[in-house]
Amino acid sequence: MPVQISNNASNKVRIFCGSLLLGGVSTLLGCNTHSSTETESDKVSGNVKTVVSQANNVNFERMLFDFENTEQLQNIIAKNAQFSQVKNDSNNVLEVNFQSEVNYKANITLKATSPWDVSGHQNVAIAVDITNHADASTPLYVKAFDQNDHQSRSTVIPASSSQTYYIVLSGDELDQNTGIRSNPKYWLTDYQQIEWRGGKKDLDLHHITAVEFQVGGSLVDKHLSFDNVRLITPKAVISDYLVGLVDQFGQNAKQAFNGKVNSVEQLQQRSAQEIAQLKKAPRLADRSQFNGWVDGPKLEATGYFRVDKYQDKWTLVDPEGYLFFSNGIANIRMANTSTITGYDFDPALINIKLATDLTPEDSLGLNQVDHQALPSRKLESALRSDMFSWLPSYDEPLGQNFGYRRSVHTGPVPSGETFSFYRANLQRKFAENDPKKLFEKWKDITINRMHSWGFTSFGNWVDPGYYQMNRLPYFANGWIIGDFKTVSSGNDYWSPLPDPFDPVFAARAKATIAQIAAEVNNNPWCVGVFIDNEKSWGTMNSLKGQYGIVINTLTRSADESPAKAAFVAALRDKYSTIESLNRAWQQQLSWDEIAQGIDLPEVNTAIEADLSMLLSLYAEAYFKTVSTTLKQYMPNHLYMGARFASWGMTPEVRAAAAKYADVMSYNYYNEGIDKGFWRFLDEVDRPSIIGEFHNGAVDSGLLHPGLVPAQSQADRGVMYQDYMRSVIDNKYFVGAHWFQYIDSPLTGRAYDGENYNVGFVSVTDQPYTELVEAAKVVNRELYQRRFGEQ
């Protein structure tokens, strides 16, 4: 393991910035000196305090907050949290009570009196000591800010623990675009690295202004203590931390972990043991043919799934009339199992994207290149290719697991070759190289697992090959893509939004839904259809965020934007005369100026009301188009909505969806159905479903736990149960779907680098026992808990 000695290494413990730190807090927080002074102790507020218990492989550079004097508390801002300075042994700590049971987000922000200058270091991080006295882990979300931007990270504070965590502000992890969401740890330290989530990697290191610690989406209040917020640098880093990262099975080659496969024989032996166990596992006795509650009441049977209310609770009803709650696993398909290898081909030999395509490339399978392109294979990214200790040749049987991405969302290359270690491991475990036979074996064991584990259905994004098996209820899905015009919310994370007033959008909706209808073929095992996913409808953090679709569209010309033309028509219909509009808006505009495009520097109450009206107009046009088309082609199946992301929806959009969707769908990555976020459910009063949730841990050999971090595989099971029970106990929800069946690739999925431990099975197709056993408990009690005597 090559080790690079950091160029800013020092054997000296550096004194607190400033003199004795007896004066104002500005002395502590505002200085920028990097001078070193040897000292035995530092006096703070007249007390002797050990600077910090040091790891022997990091340098202490500068204290930012040590909580020894009360003046520092003036620079702490709390939102839905209470904090206090508490004596702990020989020094003070900051105790924080995050009031997260009733508030969606609770946080504290430690602000610099004047910006911290952390430049001058090749590698530098903010470290903090965190203690959790509770008997449950706490996911913690951390942000570092400069004057204009921020970066976001997350970690988990294990139960009954006290550890040091660090947030890298400068270094190789941030300098390189590796195509991995969170890179391997490259500092040689026992401190815990806080995993990357998003934001700006190159913050202004001359002007770091604050660090924030947040708890969110929690079912209970959380209590943590913080101490010694400080700057640190490493004495050494691992220079080849990305080289040879992946073994032949797609696992972490540099880490030992429970369940790691070391040979094909071992993989096959474990597979044989599981198959034998599945044969002994009967289906749950309280289930109907379609996994409804056979021991419960029987309502009207229509031959297809429908929605109803029973005991004042929304519910699905299966084709035979039994109460049905959908608990399933999403993304059971080969799409998203591939990772970028670093190789590419002559683009002239690659099939181009077509406007008539019905499925985004990321939702397709391997997308293999034509054989004529193989001689043009060339290295495009040594950074990526060096991560793999093994890849097959195209001539080998395992070479059928290569694929291609014509474009990616994020990564070091704009396109390129991919490889699916998961599918390669299926070939190995089943000793099967025939693609059709392999697919059938994989489908069979997958459904046997679902029955054994007690799941009532699949989640979204199940391979259409399951649709006509008639063994497990499922949800069909589709994306409306094409060359229709678009609009922008100003936060188009995945892509711009469609313009539903463009006739091309309606035509593409018909093409997509006609294809889905052909695949489903009126099958009663299909519960319903999800259309689209996590669109950036708007955010609720500002007026511009909420009404971005309208504000941005108003700047455009009605001649080139059908949505803008519809907005102008709606304003004309409301106000009749331009004088009426100008009086309400307190503007001096003409209809021609509005049609050509206007900016709204100031928004009064009348304008805000009109922004809301126009956003409703837009959203209703979208949902009405989709709903009408679905009812035309698939009248017997439910419209399951557009899968709102918690960060990307507004009241207007929810109301429009509720008007046209049979079931409201939400992707919610938190600890459960908390009280703070879901207050709108009473207002909407529609059957609802969780389209995505998960958690993960890094004891799996993967590098990132996912959007909700757990401390271990056992903790994943506990957190799964907490989440599911909160859904089951809520009268509005009719189901919840875990995302996803298979772990992300270690080196990131090809499209955007997600490398999460969020699977029920690993890259070697081995179930995570603790998570599976936890799910079995939930599924055995599901119907009695939901509908039984309380």
How much is the pLDDT for 352?
Answer: 79
Q: Are residues 174 and 318 in the same domain?
A: no
Q: Residue for token digits 């922004």? A: 611
Q: Which residues sit opposite 338 in a β-bridge?
A: 420
Give 790's pLDDT tier (boundaries 50, 70, 90): low
pLDDT one-digit tens code per residue, 352-408:
777 778 888 888 889 999 999 999 999 999 999 999 999 999 999 999 999 999 999
Give 4's pLDDT tier (boundaries 50, 70, 90): low
Q: What is the CATH number of the domain that holds 218?
A: 2.60.120.430
Give 26's pLDDT tier (boundaries 50, 70, 90): very low
CA dihedral 500, 504, 505, 510 (to 10 degrees): 140
pLDDT one-digit tens code per residue, 277-294:
999 888 899 999 999 999
How much is the pLDDT for 11?
Answer: 31
Q: Which residues, 6 or more positions from 320, have their beta carbon under 8 angstroms from its beta carbon?
A: 288, 289, 290, 292, 298, 301
pLDDT one-digit tens code per residue, 517-562:
999 999 999 999 999 999 999 999 999 999 999 999 999 999 999 9
Residue after which a domain boundary falls, among 218, 238, 258: 238
pLDDT one-digit tens code per residue, 35-81:
333 332 233 333 334 445 566 789 999 999 999 999 999 999 999 99
> Does a structural domain hold residue 285?
yes
Q: Are residues 151 and 290 in the same domain?
A: no
Instruction: Print the domain residue range for 293.
Output: 270-324
Q: Are residues 193 and 303 in the same domain?
A: no
Give the span between the Cα atoms of 438 and 421, in whole angstroms: 15
Q: Are residues 234 and 275 in the same domain?
A: no
User: What mean pLDDT is predicted for residues 674-698?
Assistant: 97
User: What mean pLDDT is predicted for residues 740-759?
Assistant: 97
> Does a structural domain hold residue 364?
no
User: What mean pLDDT is predicted for residues 447-476?
Assistant: 97
pLDDT one-digit tens code per residue, 554-597:
999 999 999 999 999 999 999 999 999 999 999 999 999 999 99
User: What mean pLDDT is predicted for residues 473-479?
Assistant: 97
* pLDDT at residue 12 greater than cutoff 50: no
Which run of H or of E encompasses 222?
Answer: strand 222-234
* pLDDT at residue 435 greater than cutoff 90: yes
* pLDDT at residue 709 greater than cutoff 70: yes
pLDDT one-digit tens code per residue, 111-168:
999 999 999 999 999 999 999 999 999 999 999 999 999 999 999 999 999 999 999 9
Q: Which residues, 6 or more positions from 273, have their beta carbon under 8 angstroms from its beta carbon?
A: none
Q: Are residues 109 and 197 in the same domain?
A: yes
* pLDDT at residue 665 greater than cutoff 70: yes
> Does a structural domain hold residue 219?
yes
How much is the pLDDT for 205?
Answer: 97
- Report yes or no: 735 and 325 within 8 Å, Cβ to Cβ: yes
Residue after which a domain boundary falls, among 324, 359, 390: 324
Q: Are residues 81 and 211 in the same domain?
A: yes
> Does a structural domain hold residue 41?
yes
Residue after which a domain boundary falls, among 324, 340, 363: 324
Q: Are residues 230 and 86 in the same domain?
A: yes
Comparing 549 with 14, the larger pLDDT belongs to 549
Give the span between the Cα atoms of 511 and 476, in whole angstroms: 15
> Does a structural domain hold residue 478?
no
How much is the pLDDT for 45?
Answer: 32
SS (H, E, C) 130-173: EEECCCCCEEEEEEEEECCCEEEEEEEECCCEEEEEEEEEECHH
If one counts the domains in the chain, the total is: 2
Backbone angles phi, psi at 397, to 5 degrees: -55, -40
> Does a structural domain hold residue 80?
yes
Average pLDDT taken over every residue of the chain: 92
Sign of the torsion formed by the C-alpha atoms of 389, 395, 400 and 406: positive
- Report yes or no: 632 and 666 within 8 Å, Cβ to Cβ: no
Q: Are residues 121 and 213 in the same domain?
A: yes
Q: Are residues 60 and 205 in the same domain?
A: yes
Q: Which residues, 6 or more positions from 30, have their beta carbon under 8 angstroms from its beta carbon?
A: 112, 113, 114
How much is the pLDDT for 362?
Answer: 82
CA angle (672, 675, 680) in 5-degree steps: 105
* pLDDT at residue 17 greater than cutoff 90: no
Q: Are residues 41 and 130 in the same domain?
A: yes
Give 620's pLDDT tier (boundaries 50, 70, 90): very high
CA angle (226, 231, 233) in 5-degree steps: 130
Q: Are residues 45 and 169 in the same domain?
A: yes
Q: Are residues 212 and 285 in the same domain?
A: no
* pLDDT at residue 10 greater than cutoff 70: no
Secondary structure (3-state) at 509: helix
What pTM did the predictor assign? 0.93
> Does a structural domain hold residue 103?
yes
> Does a structural domain hold residue 483?
no
- Report yes or no: 172 and 144 within 8 Å, Cβ to Cβ: no
